[in-house]
Amino acid sequence: MSSNATTPSFPKVTFIKPYWGIKEFFGGTFYRDVGDNNSIEILTKKFRNKLNIKGTIIPTSSGRTAFELALRVLKNKYPERNKVVIPTYGCKGTFDPIIKTGLTPVLVDVGKDLNITPSTAKDYLTTEVLAVLVPHLSGCKAEIENLAKMAKEKNIIIIEDVCQALGGRNSTGFWGTQYDMAIFSFGMGKNLMATAGGFLVSNVFEKEIPDEAKNLGDENTDTVKKRFENVVSKYFLKKDIEFETRNIMSSYKYNKMHPLDAKLLLIQINRLENILQKRRSNAEKIIKELKKTGLKFNLQEDMNNVYTKLSLIFEDANECSELKSCFHKMGIEPEEMYAPLHLSNAGLKSSCPYSEKVYKNVFNIPIRPNLKNKELNMILKAILNVKGSNGLKPSSKQTGGQARLHKIFTRLKRKTKKKKH
Ligand SMILES: Cc1ncc(COP(=O)(O)O)c(C=O)c1O
């Protein structure tokens, strides 16, 4: 059936494009329920070995499902506690499972790195709190060590949200392996991408978690195949996806991981290091160019950042929109970040001054591992345009050499303009 939606114009450089090759295309296209159904088991084993996971692993149909599973178990264990602390600056995926489980979200502010911190959370960690969710947003590690200490004193469970930080590690091991529980996601834009999928990792309740996991349903293969076709249409063929099936891309149900998704992940899992290395290299090249512009922005500081996203936090709204419009003009798609959840959910008033101050001035630049050289150069050129064409003054932080270059560049532009006249 043909789509009745208008055809959108696709950017030349899309923010998301799955890092899929011929194996994923064949794997998805020729997937059959018979013969392919042990992929979940093999993937889970590989994942355990790769991240050195000691606890329970439950493969789920999404990160949200993994979170819901954790909350269902915790709600049963601690019926007297009904609150779940999450950062207000985050995606709806961290909010919806709390509502679905009949619990109450408590939305707290974030720090300069856009992550929940011990000081933004401390006043909210009361005896009514069941769990605190700690996302490492965009791939930048949150201060989870101290949050975990504070939570432990009040018998609150820590759930590490590694959905945007798969592969991150420090001297003590991989993120998502060391605290009470962790959720992972394999949806669009993540470091490993299937059509959807997730894992719950738990170092607690080793009996209760698998028991609750028995309630997970099975996703219909036709639905997953349709989702696979939609991903190929949208991100590779740049075609609009059918209006009727659009919601299967974003809806979430309480299901197990589907073997087709596990199969796609199995193909990619050995490339994880390569994916991370390319993301880092792209991010570093872009940051280097951005630092020459004089634009006033902050980055999420973390030497172990895995750059699932390169998020820029601007001090000045005009500079933010100027850079964004330079990208749009060149057909590069930036990604908008979040509106604080307490602003979009009536009745959930919260005092979150930092999130309210910055949220309109944050966006992400594409750094996906399959950016071609030509595409990366377009991004670098768009950045160069902002300093030239928008007449931004060289910042006081610029070196003498940078300021001279800026002057020469502006003079050259003026000369070229005169010649044209
Ligand atoms: C930080 C974070 N947590 C949770 C989720 C939910 O994951 P999923 O979309 O797989 O349900 C996402 C999804 O984008 C996310 O970015």
Q: What is the pLDDT of residues 345-372, one digit of tens each?
A: 767 777 899 999 999 999 999 999 999 9
pLDDT of residue 51: 98
Q: Is any atom of ligand 1 closer than 6 Å to the C-beta of 103?
A: no
Q: What is the pLDDT of residues 74-121, one digit of tens each?
A: 999 999 999 999 999 999 999 999 999 999 999 999 999 999 999 999
Residue 316 and residue 182 share a domain? no
pLDDT of residue 36: 66
pLDDT along the chain (421 residues), means of 10: 48 94 95 86 98 98 98 98 98 96 97 97 97 98 98 98 97 96 97 97 98 97 94 88 73 95 97 97 97 94 95 95 94 96 80 94 98 97 76 44 45 51 48
Report which ligand 1 atom has the smallest distance to the Cα of 64: 11
Q: What is the CATH number for 396?
A: 3.90.1150.10
Which domain-ending residue is among 269, 285, 304? 269
pLDDT of residue 241: 77
**What residues have CB less than 8 Å from 261, skipping those under 6 apart?**
61, 186, 194, 195, 196, 197, 224
pLDDT of residue 401: 42
Residue 214 and residue 81 share a domain? yes
* Token pair belonging to 306: 């895995």
Report which ligand 1 atom has the smallest distance to the Cα of 189: 14
Q: What is the CATH number for 105?
A: 3.40.640.10
Q: Is any atom of ligand 1 closer than 6 Å to the C-beta of 111?
A: no
Parallel, antiparallel, or unpaired for β 310-314 and 297-298?
antiparallel
Q: Give me the DSSP letters along 93-117.
A: GGTHHHHHTT-EEEEE---TTSS--
pLDDT of residue 387: 65
In the β-sheet with 83-87, what is the strand arrangement from edge to edge?
56-60, 198-202, 181-185, 157-161, 129-135, 83-87, 104-108
Q: What is the pLDDT of residues 8-34, one digit of tens each?
A: 468 899 999 999 999 999 999 999 998
Whether 199 is in a domain gets the answer: yes
pLDDT of residue 3: 39
Residue 154 and residue 140 share a domain? yes
Q: Is any atom of ligand 1 closer than 6 Å to the C-beta of 138?
A: no
Residue 297 and residue 258 share a domain? no
CA dist 292 and 251 (Å) reads: 42
pLDDT of residue 283: 98
Query: At which residue do the structure tokens 């197990």 appear?
Result: 256
Residue 293 and residue 330 share a domain? yes
pLDDT of residue 350: 76
CA of 163 to the centre of ligand 1 (A): 5
Which domain-ending residue is among 202, 235, 269? 269
pLDDT of residue 247: 76
Whether 15 is in a domain gets the answer: no
Residue 371 and residue 278 share a domain? yes
Question: Which range marks the domain in which residue 166 is found?
Answer: 22-269
CA dist 176 and 201 (Å) reads: 7
**What residues have CB less than 8 Å from 41, skipping those under 6 apart?**
none
Whether 34 is in a domain gets the answer: yes
Residues forming beta bridges with residue 202, ordered by sequence position: 56, 181
Amino acid, single-letter form, for residue 5: A
Tally of domains in the chain: 2
Q: Is any atom of ligand 1 closer than 6 Å to the C-beta of 161?
A: yes
